[in-house]
Amino acid sequence: MFESLTEMFQYEFMQRALLAGVIVGGICPLIGVFLVVRRLSLLAESLAHVSLAGVATSLFVQKEWGWLMQVHPFYMGMAFSVFGSVFVEKMRKMYASFQELSLPILLSIGMGVSVVLISAAGGFNADVAGYLFGSLIAVKEEHVKTIAMVGVLVLLLVALFYKQLFALSFDEEHAILTGIPYRFINLLFIILVALVISSAIQIVGSLLVSSLITLPVAASLQIANSFRQTVIYAIIFAELAVLIGFFAAYSLNLASGGAIVLVSVAIWLLVVIWKKIGLQWTGKVARSE
């Protein structure tokens, strides 16, 4: 086992992918905690599909008008995702009483554009599969740099605005009343979500990205007491999932995204079971006393 571990690290592409994976494994649950407690888990899914639409657009443009412009799918996906996030904020104001309506609308647009353009660009090939399910080999050095920049930006801004994000998540009405600049913070946050998702697509793929955002948080919520704990546990669970998933994907030749997600599911299940047993145990102790 250790042999394959050391072997794994000899490859430059694996080192790159692992670095990107560790960064993504940190920022996905960090953003995810705020999304889940604000009941916006579906936002991740929607923006992932919009990001995929960006990828598809890039592939299509490359095929049809490749002489005109060359934008790598990764960056096009990021641009689409950010654009989609601003759209969600605008839509939230338009449908004030059905705020979540913007999410399925966005999801449909994203998926529709993706399917049409992917088939127009030559159908589902290995490249496309990489963007759907994540691909370790496809992580280029420049992408790692971009992902690292996104990582630093997200860490910095969440640390800076942690107070405001917490207050808005807990009780938006009261937060607004106490003078928290909610429009600015909400817009900033949703753009961060878009950047995180388009970065994570490289590792887990657009179909699975929302699971890396929500599953570690779901597990963390089971056992955390404070908000701070929720954030810390979620990051630990996500990093574990990324590391174990990577190793499994490499040594068993599995799709990396799927492996990471399955490990996340396993962690979540273990936490749920552990909590159940713990509760029964404390119940027994209480009864016997």
Partner 1 sequence: MSTHVIKCEGVSFAYEKERVLEDIHLTVEEGEFLGIIGPNGSGKSTLIKLILHLIKPQTGKIEVFGKRIQNQKDRSLIGYVSQKANSFQRGFPATVKEVVASGLYGKLGLMRWMKKEDWKKVEEAIEWVGLSAFADRNIGNLSGGQQQRAFIARALVSEPKLLILDEPTVGIDVKSSKQFYDFLVELHQQTELTLVLVTHDMHAAMTIVDRIACLNKRLLYHGPTDHLMMKEKDILTQLFGNSLFSIQENQFCPS
Task: Enumerate binding residues for partner 1 (CB under 8 A).
Answer: 37, 39, 160-161, 163-164, 166-167, 169-171, 173-175, 177-181, 220-221, 224-230
CB of 181 to partner 1, least distance (A): 7
Cα(186)–Cα(221) distance, rounded to whole angstroms? 23
Output 165 or 208, the one with its CB closest to partner 1: 165
Distances from the Cα of 263 to the Cα of 36, 193, 244, 257, 282, angstroms: 20, 23, 7, 10, 28
Output 227 or 247, the one with its CB closest to partner 1: 227
Output 39 or 63, the one with its CB closest to partner 1: 39
Output 199 or 214, the one with its CB closest to partner 1: 214
The token duo for 86 is 């601003």
Output 39 or 90, the one with its CB closest to partner 1: 39
Distances from the Cα of 204 to the Cα of 93, 174, 209, 260, 261, angstroms: 32, 37, 6, 7, 8
Closest by CA to 103, choosing from 165, 45, 60, 142, is 45
CB of 280 to partner 1, least distance (A): 19
Output 15 or 222, the one with its CB closest to partner 1: 222
CB of 218 to partner 1, least distance (A): 12
Burial code (b: 16+ CB inside 10 Å, e: under 16) for 234-270 equals: bbbbbbbbbbbbbbbbbeeeebbbbbbbbbbebbbee
CB of 74 to partner 1, least distance (A): 32
CB of 265 to partner 1, least distance (A): 21
Query: In sequence order, which residues have a C-beta less than 8 Å from that of residue 89 and are 6 or more positions away?
Result: 186, 187, 190
CB of 102 to partner 1, least distance (A): 20
